[in-house]
Structure 1
């Protein structure tokens, strides 16, 4: 008996000192700021050996995500659909059977809550599948010669004069019933919803309530600039939708996709939606890539500051949504020329930006994929030594370059891309000023270096990027900028950053955080 009690006491002491492995680690601040991780469920983790990723696979990797420094998950659509991407939804209040059951989803939510992970769902309300019951009922009405309630959920026309002037992302497709055509979005299996119809709005509100009641903190809103032919009506819909969701959860979080110009993104911030993806800095043609290639650190900081000032005039409390790539764009490691140092530096640049970060699954290990959409959504590489838990490639895939090391291999290496991402993400969590602060540029003579302060609740850190290929030393007055130490650093090589008095030395392609 004494031995038993001694063992129990020992276990309690270990838990108190080191923390039990499954104990929930509370974020420093409970608010809308998170390190998000985009999961394309079909390709992420296969828990049952059928070659398709599933919700139980996601659940099995939550501890991996917490260890990486992730405290938010964006799940791409998980509702029933006949495609791998699920952006043509057949039932908004169910789980696609290839991904699991509603019980599996509830378990995922329970396990996320234990770990302090917020979950947002991809909500596709611009269009439905042409197999959705609403659309099938609409076709029945049209066939009967009595277009009514469900036909009005969509847009049916009989001649050219009735068509809206659509952009290149949509069109009209024949129903096969007389001269009737329906408006579609992107592809003809996605029938465009009529979001000016109050009954449709009520349906969408009910869908949102269903998932919010299940515990998701909010939604990623797909293709918002395509919602209505009249942009002002799209903005009004989003305002009212956000306002409604706040009645369910006052702290609801939403991030919208406006895959367009900076001026269009700026306009959509009038909707009160918390965040929009920052396409201006992402992808192959974004500011991060151009400034990284041009070794233009000062230009990067100025662009970041100007963007902050521009958007904050429209929405003072906006939360930027920063990323490098996603399921619609070429994977970034390929964009940057399969260069490990440049990939690390690009990660440092976007992960030190204010706002929420969105890391695409596999980005942290340098996964590749370009061209056909299926290539950008390749199986997550858990190990290059074993295919356990890995999914099979999407059938349309035609070019998926292999990577040398997967998660298992990179976890063992202190200088791996995975280790760099892990450190950067944890730095974001530990220094609340980085995500939440407002930035002020610091003028430096060397334009390959970019420096700025970021301040939150009277607490300040200084972030300095050296985008040059040489070690650089700068002098930064300690009394003016009120710092005393290197809080942390992100290094792409073996050389260390140093601080001697007011002289800071940065290795090539590195970042330091001063406090």
Structure 2
């Protein structure tokens, strides 16, 4: 909760807390984004004032190595921590001194009129952090009728207890408190560089997008974990399995849609502002988000707002009623609100359900979705975001909805302004976009849509082919097509594709190749629930939405398909049950794999532990190494002096040979190369060349001893 600012001193600022003063100006018209000043206690940074762009403040405790600032300004990491886990800037943004920021603020005030401040001291006893905030919001010049700040003229009665900062007297008190704080800071010399007219040193914006440090775990909610015995996955079930996900190495969970819907997959909503009660209520979802954040994890929601089910009030109340207040919310093709644009589909239960296109260009619809996305991020309008989501996945993001020529220029005209608006509330959010065309690299969405990351679809197509040349080509093309500061989601399966284990006919060697490519390539890994234990599944080709149930079967927690926690909601409903892939005692379950050091689950855990512990694998450069071995794909990953060599054999034969000289920059003759996957000496340097021997469909991760 935001409360009036109060004096901060050694007693009120614990050793482990952060003091963060920032002006979140957020005005696109002046090309100025967030301006953040990070103020640490003098004993922590030698009295230096650090100006930088937005830094996401993580929970911080005395025994925790996580910091939200650039580590080069702070002491070495504490014993037992390999390195600081920092949160770099999401994307390059303008960084200013306080003098320049205030000058820009004055220009903004003159250009746009008054803008209300949001000032206060935020304190969260649970996280052990305290920080001072000032946020200044400016209207967007492109939408003069549409306020940028949720504090400007919004009817917030639909949300829980909006902030009380509308009071002029309260605002003046807060400004006075901020002025007092600034005076104290100047008195102790923290602002001397700015006071003398000099711009303080600022950390350079990192070109690497911060989500390269993330590992996404995609959960099909209905099928993941049942907590109450009704055989339907739910929020509490996910919460109970968070220790498993963290032990695996996941840092972020991505949930398939959770909104009410007549479809089992929840992709076509009956309401956008609620949750499917089979999964729990809003309170249980908020509790899940809060629990994730207390563990240092992030949560993303899958959003498909381009369509509604016929049970949605917008459609139900406007069809045939042009006088309805929702008259222009649905795209109709006939007079008098008839012939809605859309289609009818059959559910796995044999029922026909209509789907209609939402009129994303209607001003009221735009306004609604601006509010909706902010509500998911900051449900209480109080700023800590501990019960909100950390980002979104946009399903089938396209410029011309369904190619009908009726809703066009959506990438720059609808999505970019919407996501920009959400970032004025929480600049720390991340947005994943799924390309509607799986043959593209998504560079148009990255460049024009204000999204952070897209799906590496061409690379996935190459990987599942296990064609060495196709994979090498896709790696290079993906890198070339990805703008600086943006990312690609590296994956081999999801809820819309066949399971990789079925694609490779359950060959454990090929499953490990797929795992290594997912986790060790440059990009952000996405693991689909059950992928790590080798769950199988192939899509059917009938007429109903049951076709995808085989690739969305219940997660296998135990040796039995119906064991505790199993979400077998599709039992006895069709061929997806009778011909199901999961079978009792098939050796594909957490129970059967977790104590086996040779299991696929153990291999995934090893890969993810290496990725988290080594910057070369997480954030480093990537280079394809030329070799005269046609079956081998060799990649160098490097971050400063730390480097490793990923070697993969795509043939059914053992390969023994030599790699070119200088394949590892720091390597020396006579030094053994250790395979980090097996912790054995698997190669050596002789006469400037790497001598290797690799098994059929084998994978090695080599580094100099």
Q: Tell me which interval the TM-score lies in, with the shorter structure as reference length.
A: 0.7 to 0.9
List structure 1 runs of 4+ shifted beyond 6 angstroms: 24-27
- 1:400/1:206 CA distance change after superposition, 3 Å: same
TM-score (norm 1): 0.82
* Equivalent position to 1:256, from 428, 433, 440: 433
**CA distance in structure 1 between the aligned counterparts of 2:237 and 2:424, rounded to whole angstroms:** 33
Match of 2:442 among 258, 265, 286: 265
1:274 to 445, 449, 452: 452
- For 1:435 and 1:231, locate their aligned partners in 2 and report how far apart those are by CA, in whole Å: 37
Instruction: Judge conservation of contact 2:332–2:341 (CA < 8 Å) in 1.
Output: yes
Aligned residue for 2:701, secondary structure, equals: strand
Displacement of 1:343: 1.0
Equivalent-residue separation in structure 1 for 2:362 and 2:262 (angstroms): 27
Find the counterpart in structure 2 of residue 91 from structure 1. 271
Per-residue deviation, 1:393: 4.1
**Pairwise CA RMSD of aligned residues?**
2.8
Distance change >3 Å, CA 466–CA 402, structure 1 → 2 = same
Q: In 2, Cα distance between the equivalents of 1:262 and 1:27?
A: 38
| 1:142-165 C-alpha deviation (Å, 9 max, x unpaired) | 24xx34541211111227xxxxxx
Distance 2:330 2:532 in 1: 41
Secondary structure, counterpart of 1:153 in structure 2: coil
* Superposition TM-score, scaled by structure 2 size: 0.61
Tell whether the 8 Å contact from 2:667 to 2:685 is kept in structure 1 after alignment: no
Change (3 A) 1:472 1:242: farther
Spell out, residue by residue over 1:225-272, the C-alpha distance to the aligned partner (whole angstroms, 9 max, x if none).
276345533343222122112112112111111142444723322223
Are residues 186 and 64 of structure 1, via their aligned partners in 2, closer, same or farther at CA, if it must alter by over 3 Å?
Answer: farther
| 1:120–1:219 contact (8 Å) kept in structure 2 | yes
- Rounded Cα–Cα distance in structure 1 between residues aligned with 2:224 and 2:235: 9
SS of residue in 2 equivalent to 1:99: coil
- Structure 2 stretches of 5 or more lacking a match? 1-61, 65-80, 88-209, 346-352, 379-386, 541-546
CA distance in 1, matches of 2:242, 2:674: 28
Match of 2:392 among 204, 219, 225: 219
Question: Any conservation in 1 of the 2:330–2:359 contact (CA below 8 Å)?
Answer: yes
**C-alpha distance in 1, partners of 2:559/2:470?**
39
Question: Which structure shows the higher helix fraction?
Answer: 1
How far does residue 435 in structure 1 lie from its aligned partner after superposition? 3.7
Gapped runs of 5+ residues in structure 1?
1-14, 18-23, 160-177
Residues 238, 207 of structure 1: alpha-carbon distance in 2 compared, 3 angstrom cutoff: same
Counterpart residue number, 1:464: 647
Number of the residue aligned with 1:413 = 596
| Residue equivalent to 1:29 | 86
- Partner residue of 1:151 out of 299, 313, 327: 327
Is the contact made by 1:37 and 1:360 (CA closer than 8 Å) also made in structure 2?
A: yes
- Which residue among 367, 370, 382 is the counterpart of 1:202? 367
Describe how 1:32-431 pairs up with structure 2 within 5 A. Answer: 32-33=211-212, 34-139=214-319, 142-143=320-321, 146-147=322-323, 149-158=325-334, 180-184=338-342, 187=345, 189-213=354-378, 214-225=387-398, 228=401, 229=405, 231-263=408-440, 265-270=442-447, 271-282=449-460, 286-290=461-465, 292=466, 294=467, 296=468, 299-309=470-480, 311-312=481-482, 315-370=483-538, 371=540, 372-385=547-560, 387-394=563-570, 395-396=573-574, 397-398=576-577, 399-403=579-583, 404-405=586-587, 406-431=589-614
How far the C-alpha of 1:192 sits from its partner, in A, is: 1.0
How many residue pairs were aligned?
461
Aligned with residue 433 of structure 1, among 616, 636, 647: 616
Measure, in 2, the Cα distance between the counterparts of 1:99 and 1:412: 31
1:449 paired residue number:
632
Higher relative contact order (CA 8 A, sep 6+): 1
Range with bigger deviation, 494-503 or 220-229: 494-503
* Greater gyration radius: 2
Q: Distance in 1 between matches of 2:415 and 2:324?
A: 26
Structure 1's 119 and 483: CA in aligned 2 closer, same or farther, altered over 3 A?
farther
